Amino acid sequence: MKESILLNDLLNLSTENIERAKVRFNQYNGQEDPMEVYLRNPDEVNDIWLFWRAKNRYFNVGEIAICLFQLSADNWLLSTIKKVTCEFGVINAVNYNGEMLEEYSPYFGRVIIKYNKTHQTQVVHLKNVINELEIAQILPNIFDGIDFPGYDKVRLSYGQLSTIVHRQKQDWVAALKNQKAVYLIVDRESGSQYVGSAYGENGMLLQRWISYINDGHGGNKLLRLIVDKLGIDYVKKNFQYSILENYNARTDKNIILARESWWKETLGSRAFGLNAN
């Protein structure tokens, strides 16, 4: 039977440091996914998310703060480890400052940990979970987002798509830049849907999706009304992008336009959604 390799097998914290170490488990907070925040700016997770205090007082000066954020149900990424150096005594703000423990820096952004979190609290003593934090994978490079899963499994939030576009994540760019497609945009707040297509003359799929990242509407009439009324931040929070059908670059545009029309009728996006035609 394969024996699990635990996080502390890698870190080799002393008994004294285990006693004064705590782990913060960062998850979706109802507004933002920490993975998207990390990809945008790691310091936001490693400083703001790690040391934010709402009601509870999580750390004391001298303690070690281990920062994890959720990638999927039971997978967490180690993003930093810091020693708490001061406390500000504030609520609903960043309440601590910390000094990164450089000896562990080669692992930051690379170690994926398997852990089944069943507790509600965000911060727990390391000693209470030390035998449950199992190393699932050590990445060859610092985590740069989810890998392209295949055309039939693409479902991206605005933040995820924006990160792919701005970081030019190569596997995604290679998969999308030469593809024609019929795609779906869903407003997760209202449930309204928009069916669109990329057929070459109006750009390939990557180019079309970049236009939505740039202005939120990509030139579509009803999507533009949402942006004008509710603002681009509404789009960033609520819009989701997926592929209904994909085609190679040689596919005739009339085939794609016919399939786009079929999906509009099937999903009711003309009658009840965001397609004006």
Give mean pLDDT, residues 138-158.
93
Helix ranges (H only) for the chain are: 7-11, 15-19, 34-40, 42-43, 50-51, 126-129, 158-167, 170-176, 205-215, 221-230, 232-238, 253-267
Residue 36 pLDDT: 87
- For the four alpha carbons of 26, 32, 33 and 36, in that order, the dihedral sign comes to negative
Residues 98-114 have a mean pLDDT of 97
* pLDDT for position 2: 59
When computed from its CA atoms, the radius of gyration of the chain, rounded to whole angstroms, is: 22
Q: What is the Cα–Cα distance from 48 to 7, expressed in whole angstroms?
A: 24
Q: Residue 267 has what pLDDT?
A: 97
Label residue 115 by pLDDT band (50, 70, 90). very high
Question: Taking 60 as the threshold, does the pLDDT of residue 163 lie above it?
Answer: yes
Quick check: 135 and 113 in contact, CB under 8 A? yes
Q: How far apart are CA 133 and CA 82, in angstroms?
A: 18
Mean pLDDT of the chain: 95
Query: Could you tell me the CATH superfamily of domain 151-267?
Result: GIY-YIG endonuclease (3.40.1440.10)
DSSP letter for 142, please. -
Q: Does residue 154 surpass a pLDDT of 90?
A: yes
Q: What is the pLDDT of residues 8-66, one digit of tens each?
A: 999 999 999 999 999 999 999 888 899 989 988 999 999 999 999 999 999 999 999 99
- The rounded Cα 23 to chain-centroid distance in angstroms is 20
Q: In the predicted model, is pLDDT for residue 145 greater than 90?
A: no
Query: What one-letter code names the amino acid at 265?
Result: E
Residue 1 has pLDDT above 60, yes or no: no
* Residue partners of 259: CB distance under 8 A and separation at least 6: 182, 197, 244, 245
Please state, in angstroms and as integers, the Cα–Cα distance from residue 66 to each residue in 132, 138, 143, 203, following that order.
15, 17, 17, 45
- Is the predicted pLDDT of residue 146 greater than 90, yes or no? no
The answer to whether residue 77 scores a pLDDT higher than 60 is: yes
Mean pLDDT of 203-229: 95
Asked if residue 113 has pLDDT above 80, the reply is yes
d(CA 100, CA 64): 10
Average pLDDT over residues 208-217: 96
Domains in the chain: boundaries: 7-138, 151-267
81 contacts 46 by C-beta, under 8 angstroms: no
Classify residue 69 by burial, with Cβ atoms within 10 Å: 0-12, 13-18, 19+: buried
Residue 230, C-beta contacts closer than 8 angstroms, at least 6 positions apart: none
State which amino acid sits at residue 98.
G
